[in-house]
Structure 1
Amino acid sequence: MQWPTHEVSNQAPDLHDYNLFTSDKALVASVQREQAAWYEQDLIRLGAELGKQETLHLGQLANHHLPELQTHDRFGNRIDVVEFHPSWHQLLTMQRRENLHAMPWSQPRAGAHIARTAAYYLQAQVESGSLCPITMTFAAIPLLQKETKLFATLEAKLFSREHDTRDLPLAQKNSMLIGMGMTEKQGGSDVRSNTTVARPLNGGGRGTEYALTGHKWFFSAPMCDAHLVLARTDAGLSCFFVPRWRPDGSKNAILIQRLKDKLGNRSNSSSEVEFQDAYGVMVGEEGRGIPTIIEMANHTRLDCVIGSAGLMRNALVQAIHHARHRSAFGLPLAEQPLMQNVLSDLALESEAATLLMLRLARAVESPDDPLERAWRRIVTPAAKFWICKRALEFTGECMEVWGGNGYVENAAMARMYREAPVNSIWEGSGNVMCLDVLRAIAKEPESFNLLLESLLDTAVEHAGLRERIAELRSDLKASPSQQEMLARRFAQRLMLTTQACLMLQTAPPAIAEAFIDSRLDAECGRVFGTLNDALATSALQQDILARAWPG
Structure 2
Amino acid sequence: MMLRRNQPLLAQLLQRAPAWGPRRKSHLAEEDVVPFARAVIGTFFQGQPSLGNQYLEDALLRGYLKRHLPPQVFAEANQDLQRFGARVSGEILNLGQECEAIPPRLQQFDAWGKRVDLILTCPAWKKLKRISAEEGLIAIGYERKYSNWSRVYQAAKLFMFSPSSGMFICPLAMTDGATKVLQVTKSSGPPGEAFNHLTSRDPKLFWTSGQWMTERKGGSDVAHGTETVACKQDDGTYKLFGFKWFTSATDADMTLALARIMDAQGSVTKGTKGLSLFFLKLRDEQGQLNGIEVQRLKEKLGTRQLPTAELLLDGAQAHLVSQEGRGVATIANMLNITRIYNSIGAVSCMRRIVVTAREYATQRFVFGKFIKDHPLHTQTLARMEVQVRGGFLLVMELVRLLGLEETNMASTQDSHLLRLLASVAKLYTGKQVVATVSEGLECFGGQGYMEDTNLPGILRDSQVLTIWEGTTNVLALDTLQVLAKSQGQVMQAFSASVQEKLASASDRSELASSIQCLQEALGRLALQLEKLLGQGRTSMEMAARDLAYTLARIYIGALLVEHAAWAEASPSDIYASQRWCEQDLCPLDAAQQAGCYEADALCRDMDLVYEGSPTYKTKESAQASQKTVV
Q: TM-score, normalised by structure 2?
A: 0.77
Q: Return the match for 2:254 from 209, 226, 230.
A: 226
2:437 match: secondary structure: helix
Q: Report how far residue 77 of structure 1 moved.
A: 2.2
CA change 1:19–1:285 in 2 (3 A) is: same
**Residue 63 in 1 paired to residue 100 in 2?**
yes
Q: Computing the radius of gyration over CA atoms, which structure comes out larger, 1 or 2?
A: 2
Secondary structure of the structure 1 residue equivalent to 2:167? coil
1:114 equivalent in alignment to 2:145: no
In 2, are the aligned partners of 1:313 and 1:350 still within 8 Å (CA)?
yes
Q: Distance in 2 between matches of 1:187 and 1:82?
A: 23
The structure 1 residue matched to 2:239, chosen from 191, 195, 211, is 211
Query: Could you say which residue in structure 2 is the equivalent of 1:322?
Result: 360
Asked whether the 8 Å contact 1:246–1:279 carries over to 2, the reply is no
After superposition, the C-alpha distances for 1:460-491 in whole angstroms (9 at most, x for unaligned) are: 55222112112222333212221110111111
- Equivalent residue number for residue 440 of structure 2: 398
Instruction: Give the structure 2 partner of residue 161 of structure 1.
Output: 201
Equivalent residue for 1:511, pick from 559, 564, 576: 576
In the TM superposition, residue 324 of structure 1 has moved relative to its aligned partner by: 1.4
Tell whether the 8 Å contact from 1:370 to 1:447 is kept in structure 2 after alignment.
Answer: no
The DSSP-based 3-state class of the residue aligned with 1:266 is coil
Tell me the equivalent position of 1:469.
522
Distance, in Å, in 2 between the alignment partners of 1:73 and 1:163 is 28
**1 CA distance for matches of 2:494 and 2:93?**
40
> 1:266-281 counterparts in 2 under 5 A?
266-281=304-319
Give 1:20's aligned residue.
Answer: 54
Equivalents in 2 of 1:373, 1:8: separation in Å?
61
Measured against aligned partners, the alpha-carbon deviations of 1:309-344 in whole angstroms (never above 9, x if no partner) come to 000000001111111111211121111111111011
Q: Is the contact made by 1:386 and 1:492 (CA closer than 8 Å) also made in structure 2?
A: yes
Equivalence for 2:382 = 344
Q: In the alignment, which residue of structure 1 is the partner of 2:64? A: 30
Aligned to 1:535: none
Please state whether the residue corresponding to 2:451 is helix, strand or coil: coil
Name the SS for the 2:164 alignment partner.
coil
Q: Does 1:202 pair with 2:234?
A: yes
Deviation string, structure 1 residues 425-482 (Cα, Å, up to 9, x no partner): 0110001111111111111221320221120233355222112112222333212221
> 1:144, CA displacement in angstroms?
0.8
1:259-408 aligned at under 5 Å gives the runs 259-367=297-405, 368-408=410-450
**SS of aligned partner of 1:125:** helix
Q: Give the residue type in structure 1 aligned to 2:323.
A: E
> Percent identity at matched positions?
29
Task: Identify which of structures 1 and 2 has the higher relative contact order when contacts are C-alpha pairs closer than 8 Å and 6+ apart.
Answer: 1
Separation in 2, partners of 1:520, 1:240: 43
Corresponding residue pairs, total? 508
Instruction: Tell me which amino acid in the other structure corresponds to 1:386.
Output: Y
Q: Distance in 1 between matches of 2:484 and 2:227?
A: 30
The answer to whether the 8 A contact 1:210-1:280 is kept is yes
1:63-87 Cα deviation digits (max 9, x unpaired): 1101011122222222221111111
> 2:127 & 2:283 partners in 1: Cα distance?
24
**How far apart are the structure 1 equivalents of 2:43 and 2:209?**
48
Q: Aligned to 1:415, which of 457, 468, 485?
A: 457
Please identify which structure carries the higher helix content: 2
The equivalent position to 1:88 in structure 2, one of 104, 111, 125, is: 125
Deviation at 1:520, TM superposition (A): 4.6
CA RMSD of aligned residues (A): 2.1
Decide which of 149, 154, 165 is 2:188's aligned counterpart: 149
1:362 shift after superposition: 0.3
* Partner residue in 1 for 2:611: none
Alpha-carbon distance between aligned partners in 2 of 1:144 and 1:263, rounded to the nearest angstrom: 33
| Alpha-carbon spacing, 1:337–1:182, altered in 2? closer, same or farther (3 Å) | same
Paired residue type of 1:448: M
Q: Which residue of 2 aligns with 1:78?
A: 115
What is the DSSP-based 3-state SS (H/G/I as helix, E as strand, rest coil) of the residue aligned with 1:256? strand
Deviations 1:5-29 (A, max 9, x none): 434425122313x210111111001
Residue 295 of structure 1: how far off its partner (Å) = 1.3
2:499 is matched with: 456
Equivalent position to 2:84, from 13, 23, 46? 46
Cross-structure match for 1:533: none
2: distance between equivalents of 1:83 and 1:290?
32
**Is the Cα–Cα contact under 8 Å of residues 246 and 310 in structure 2 kept in the other structure?**
yes
* TM-fit CA distance, 1:521: 10
* d(CA) in 2 for partners of 1:281, 1:123: 33
Q: CA deviation at 1:58?
A: 1.7
Q: Which moved more, 1:489-498 or 1:36-45?
A: 36-45
SS of alignment partner, residue 129 of structure 1: coil
CA distance in 2, matches of 1:485, 1:518: 22
Q: Is the 8 A contact 1:125 1:314 kept in 2?
A: yes
Structure 2 gap segments, 5+ residues each: 1-26, 28-36, 262-267, 504-511, 565-572, 591-630
Write out aligned runs for 1:430-445 (5 A).
430-444=472-486, 445=488
Matched, 1:185 2:220: no
> TM-score with structure 1 length normalisation?
0.88
**Structure 1 residues 89 and 247, CA, compared in 2 at 3 Å: closer, same or farther?**
closer
Amino acid at match of 1:517: E
Unmatched segments (≥5 aa) in structure 1: 165-173, 526-551
The verdict on how the C-alpha distance between 1:249 and 1:91 changes in structure 2, with shifts beyond 3 A counting, is closer
Q: Which shifted more, 83-92 or 391-400?
A: 83-92
Distance 1:189 1:65 in 2: 31
